[in-house]
């Protein structure tokens, strides 16, 4: 553990790394202000779901990952348990979010150990735009050592990592940001479904302040923004 921590500190302390830090604006003014210009690339970010709002958290992390990945492929690693408990990822749902399913590489694994092993291997590929690791509950393997390794590999490859945590509570680790997500009411459109709206709390931010906002996802622009109204139905588009 000590050699790994020392390696991470030495790597992150390099002046050239700090100068080369890349950020992607989310499109939501207040959130981007807290993030000092946007979500930092090559870092570990965590997204937690409020109980019964797992679909909302999945949609939110999909939006974050797409913003960061842009036109590159997105790798999504999820345990079989997630599919049984909360449903499969839906190609139609992804299209509704403005995400081409052909750009998403889905890897199903049996255990959290398998998920972390696959993520560690994938982070050696700088051609990926982002990696989402969906791990429910509190497996022992997901400890400080595991988060340090993910942070180090993400920093080296500049591939951004998102840990999607369902049925879990936050614990101490090396995540750059930590988000708590629930679904919110969408503005009522004249016809069709409203755009997805998320009640989002940024509960940890190593680079700045925290905050809480309603964030609407615009699938056409692939960007977040402030919703124009609060009336309507809660929309979940991530699962079939």
> What burial letters (b/e) apply to 137-161, b meaning 16+ CB within 10 Å?
eebeebeeebbbbbbbbbbbbebbb
Q: Is the pLDDT of residue 234 over 90?
A: no
Q: Among residues of the chain, what percentage have pLDDT more than 70?
A: 84
> What is the distance between the alpha carbons of residues 128 and 84, in angstroms, rounded to a whole number?
27
Long-range own/partner contacts, residues 13-20 (CB < 8 A, 24 or more apart): 17/155
Q: Among residues of the chain, what percentage have pLDDT more than 90?
A: 80
Please give the pLDDT value at position 33. Answer: 96
The tokens for 143 are 């400890």
The structural domains of the chain, with segments of one domain joined by +, span 29-225
Task: Summarize the confidence of residues 234-239 as an average pLDDT.
Answer: 43
Mean pLDDT across the chain: 88
Please give the pLDDT value at position 53. Answer: 96
Task: Summarize the confidence of residues 114-139 as an average pLDDT.
Answer: 96
Task: Summarize the confidence of residues 196-224 as an average pLDDT.
Answer: 95
> What is the distance between the alpha carbons of residues 140 and 163, in angstroms, rounded to a whole number?
15
pLDDT tens digits along 32-68: 999 999 999 999 999 999 999 999 999 999 999 999 9
> Which CATH code of 3.40.50.300, 1.10.150.20, 3.40.190.150, 3.40.140.10 fits the domain covering 29-225?
3.40.50.300
Q: Is the pLDDT of residue 18 over 70?
A: no
Please give the pLDDT value at position 228. Answer: 79
pLDDT interval class at 6 (50, 70, 90): low
């Amino acid at each position: 553990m000590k050699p790994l921590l020392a390696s991470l500190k030495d790597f992150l302390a390099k002046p050239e790394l700090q100068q080369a830090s890349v950020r992607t604006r989310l499109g939501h003014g207040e959130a981007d202000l807290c993030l000092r210009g946007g979500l930092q690339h090559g870092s570990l970010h965590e997204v937690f779901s409020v109980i019964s709002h797992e679909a909302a958290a999945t949609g939110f992390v999909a939006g974050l990952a797409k913003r960061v990945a842009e036109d590159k492929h997105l790798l999504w690693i999820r345990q079989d348990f997630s599919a049984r408990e909360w449903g499969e990822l839906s190609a139609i749902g992804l299209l509704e979010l403005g995400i081409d399913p052909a750009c998403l590489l889905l890897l199903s694994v049996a255990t959290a150990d398998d998920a972390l092993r696959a993520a560690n291997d994938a982070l050696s590929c700088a051609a990926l735009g982002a990696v989402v690791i969906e791990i429910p509950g509190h497996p022992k393997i997901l400890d400080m050592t595991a988060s340090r390794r993910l942070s180090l590999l993400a920093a080296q490859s500049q591939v951004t990592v998102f840990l999607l945590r369902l049925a879990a509570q936050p614990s101490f680790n090396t995540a750059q940001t930590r988000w708590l997500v629930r679904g919110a009411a969408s503005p009522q459109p004249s016809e069709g479904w409203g755009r997805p709206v998320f009640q989002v709390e940024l509960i940890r931010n190593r680079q700045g302040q925290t905050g809480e906002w309603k964030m609407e996802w615009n699938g056409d622009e692939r960007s977040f923004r402030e919703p124009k109204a609060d009336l309507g139905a809660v929309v979940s588009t991530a699962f079939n």
